[in-house]
Amino acid sequence: MIIKNRNGVSFLEFEKLARLSGIRHGIFTRNTGVSTGPFRSLNVSFGVGDDDRKVMHNREIISRCLKEKDFVFADQVHGSRVMVFSKDNNAITFDSDACCEVENPKNLNKQIDVFNPDSEHKHVVDALVTNIRKKYLVIQVADCQSILMYDPVRQVVANIHSGWRGSVNNIIGLTINVMEKSFGCFAGDIFAGIGPSLGLCCAEFVNYEKEIPKVYWEYKNDSDHFDFWSLSCDQLCQAGVLIDNVDLSRLCTKCDPNRFFSFRGEGTTGRFASIIGIA
């Protein structure tokens, strides 16, 4: 991954996505924020016990870094719902059965106050998709994967939150299916980046026989550790994404506590931001 620094804030970019025009993206580290204690320091989540004022400040730091204002934060629940924001002012949420619920807020394109923890506009989903320029999709993670995707032909971006439950439910495949149905995307055109998350070294599941369906045990090593990086790569390819279009960060969050939050490593901790949008 490429290390960038803008306005005093460090973040990472995927090499393949960085070579494409028309988008901006970044994986922000836990540094250069104002939170303290276990949330040191660029925590962007209101839901982990941090001081709301500090989280607001941290989100503003990222906003100033990118010089953008319109961010969409998913209210993540380890599910498999996908929300689509389109230029026709509709927000459509797809579930795992490909059923959809159409929302039409009074002013969907009006900037939502994501800096305010009391904002009533919450998106209880684990994947976000849009073709709207300058609407930046944000996933918050601390061991789970963020998967950033971009179709340069149809000018569509997506950001996915995938923990082990998301992997088991193949939220990657569902999101690509939604991109195809909603915007006419072709999976072979999509580029994807799999962000810093638990590696095989640290993804231990002592109760895997109860938690992980047997079909996924091929991703287990000789003990009880699972390679969810390889699983995500396979799910992308099974959905039609070309392996040459996939970037894997190979950065384990638990192994790198100086740069990333890790729930497995720290318990009470913050969440770092993974962001993508059409410039």
- How confident is the model at residue 103, as a pLDDT? 52
- How confident is the model at residue 22, as a pLDDT? 95
DSSP 262: -
Confidence check: pLDDT of 99 > 80? no
Q: Hey, what amino acid is at 27?
A: I
The pTM of this model reads 0.93
The phi-psi region of residue 34 (left if phi > 0; otherwise alpha if psi is between -120 and 50; otherwise beta) is alpha
Q: Across the strands, what pairs with 84? A: 92, 129
Give the pLDDT band of residue 258 (cuts 50, 70, 90). very high
Length of the chain counted residue by residue = 279
CA R_g for the chain: 17
- How confident is the model at residue 83, as a pLDDT? 94
All structural domains of the chain, each given as residue ranges with its CATH number in brackets, are 2-278 (3.60.140.10)
Give the pLDDT band of residue 95 (cuts 50, 70, 90). confident
pLDDT (average), residues 64-70:
94
- How confident is the model at residue 37, as a pLDDT? 98
Give the pLDDT band of residue 123 (cuts 50, 70, 90). confident
- How confident is the model at residue 110, as a pLDDT? 44
Give the pLDDT band of residue 109 (cuts 50, 70, 90). very low
Give the pLDDT band of residue 270 (cuts 50, 70, 90). very high
Cβ count near 56 (within 10 Å): 18
The CA–CA distances, whole Å, from 68 to 90, 105, 262 equal 22, 22, 27
pLDDT (average), residues 86-114:
59
Tell me what the pLDDT averaged over the chain comes to: 92
Q: Which residues contact 108 (CB under 8 A, 6 or more apart)?
A: 85, 89, 90, 91
- How confident is the model at residue 92, as a pLDDT? 80
Q: pLDDT: is 59 or 120 the higher one?
A: 59
Are the C-beta atoms of 134 and 279 separated by less than 8 Å? yes
